[in-house]
Copies of this chain bind each other. A is one copy, B any other.
Amino acid sequence: MTSDKLIQAARSVEVTGPTVLLDIDQVETNYHEFVRGLPDAYVHYAVKANPNPAILTRLNNLGCRFDAASRGEIARLLALDVDPAHISFGNTIKKPIDIEFAASFGINLFAADSEMELEKIARYAPGSEVFIRMLVGTTEAEWPLSRKFGCGSNRAVPLLHYARSLGLIPAGLSFHVGSQTRHPYMWDDTLDVVAAIWRTARDEGLMLYLLNIGGGFPAYYGVEITDTVEYGRALDHAINSRFEGVEYLMAEPGRGLVGNAGIVVSEVLLVSRKHLEDTARWVYLDVGKFSGLSETADEAIRYQFIVVGREDEETAPCILAGPTCDSADVLYERNQVQLPVGLDCGDRVLVLSAGAYTTTYSTVWFNGFDPLVEHVI
């Protein structure tokens, strides 16, 4: 849950436009809880969730490792003195010069899901360890993933063999259950599929030792989720009962470590009705889909709101939208939001659990609006 310290800061901080406030102590708390639940795992924080240097520095000091999606993220990690041995380059789609860049700094753990990617890694980072990302079926994640990443399950073992033939070290497998997987039992079917491939590979003499379970650990957005420690323990058990020889269990939490560590501070610009007989009001905020709240796409992530000074007012349903002239900049229409009946222009609205996938998702200058501002409290 969000800390009182952060909520209090968000109530009173002076801002000139939409701003994310971050509580780095909360990130530390989340990290400790995560490790308590999954003590055998090497945690590689998914930098893409929030690459704020204060977050990276704190996690680095705690012994956390990192998964980078790009050369840009790697460069930032190196600039913060992160040990290259603690960085994985987990994007399965890499530019050759970026692989070369990573290898030149000593990074030697890469993801791949295709022949061509393995060939690039073999050429630009020869001898590296690679894990093969598998495409797994849709789970009960709030935000199931598309088919973009991973190879079909009948291709994983051949790709591991191919990696070896190219002089790479076929270290293991990775997969992703989908963002915001709220309960550990939702992992079971996927783990069964991956474990079968794992066994086949080892039976064929590929001594896999790295299992990367990816991310998907949930943050709280109003729907019940399993407590972090309990979640980790259940998952740990589910893994141990299925996999043999795992020496490097790797997890890539992003949202789970930083989601509840951020609040977006925003302002109501307009309250209106389209027709006199409409029951729902249209409420327009100074923050929207193009300034950080992209994860409202298809209303997938449902943020929780506090309207400062109106906590005790009666509420009524609202359609919520952002400030741009883009008609797609509507946050919630099917899932209307309950907001105070007296809501007015100038009211401050806090968007909770907005620490992940907000700041960097902001557009550079869409409609002439500046990107989301970040503040560490």
Chain B CB within 8 A of A271 CB = yes
A36 within 8 A of B: no
Q: Which residues of B contact A271 (CB under 8 A)?
A: 114, 116
Which residue of the partner chain B has the closest CB to A176? B327
Query: In the bound complex, do residue B360 and residue A48 qualify as a contact, i.e. CB atoms below 8 Å apart?
Result: no
Is A364 in contact with B371, judged by CB distance below 8 angstroms?
yes
Q: Whose C-beta in chain B lies nearest to the C-beta of A322?
A: B93
Would you call B270 and A90 a contact (CB within 8 A)?
A: no
- Measured between C-beta atoms, what is the minimum distance from A217 to chain B in Å? 16
A363 at the interface (CB under 8 A from B): yes
With a cutoff of 8 Å between Cβ atoms, the chain B residues found around residue A346 in the complex are: 96
B327 close to A69 (CB less than 8 A): no
Q: A113 and B272 in contact (CB under 8 A), knowing A96-B346, A148-B329, A327-B148? A: yes
Residues A363 and B365 in contact in the complex (CB < 8 Å), given A48-B325, A93-B323, A269-B94: no
- The answer, among B71, B116, B276, B360, for a CB contact under 8 Å with A272, is B116
Instruction: Identify which of B72, B74, B116, B149 contacts A369 (C-beta below 8 A).
Output: B72
* Complex-state Cα separation, A365 to B145, whole angstroms: 21
Most buried by B among A51, A95, A363, A370: A363
Q: In the complex, what's the smallest C-beta–C-beta distance from A326 to chain B, in angstroms?
A: 8
**In the complex with contacts A91-B323, A149-B327, A150-B274, A368-B48 CB distance below 8 A:** yes
Q: Are B324 and A69 in contact (CB under 8 A)?
A: yes
1/0 per residue A365-376: CB within 8 Å of B? 111111100000
A128 to B73, CA, bound (A): 49
Q: Is the CB of B371 within 8 A of A360?
A: no
Cα of A71 to Cα of B115 in the assembled complex, Å: 50
**16 contacting pairs across A/B (C-beta < 8 A):** A48-B367, A51-B368, A70-B367, A71-B368, A72-B367, A91-B367, A93-B321, A94-B270, A95-B267, A95-B323, A96-B345, A116-B345, A117-B270, A117-B272, A146-B327, A360-B365
